[in-house]
Amino acid sequence: MTGSKKTASSALSNAKIFFTTIFSFLLFALDGVDHAFFGHPSFFEVINPF
């Protein structure tokens, strides 16, 4: 019983990491597209203008 619970929780944390990574890449890509096409300042430029 405890073994299956552990597997489920590790799968959940793996999924969380996976989705966080995907989300970060999507955010990065959208930011680049926005910067390229609309000339808005990049999200990262706003945070760190150097």
pLDDT in tens, 13-43: 999 999 999 998 998 888 878 777 777 776 6
Number of folded domains in the chain? 1
Q: CA-CA distance, 13 to 35, in Å (whole number)? A: 33
Structural domain boundaries, residue 39: 2-47
Tokens of 27: 């955010």
What is the predicted pLDDT for the residue at 27?
87
Residue pair 40/34 in contact by the 8 Å Cβ criterion = yes
Q: How far apart are CA 33 and CA 15, in angstroms?
A: 27
From the list 18, 44, 14, 17, the residue with the least C-alpha distance to 29 is 44
**pLDDT score recorded for residue 44:** 64
pLDDT of residue 46: 64
Per-residue confidence (pLDDT) for residue 13, from 0 to 100: 94
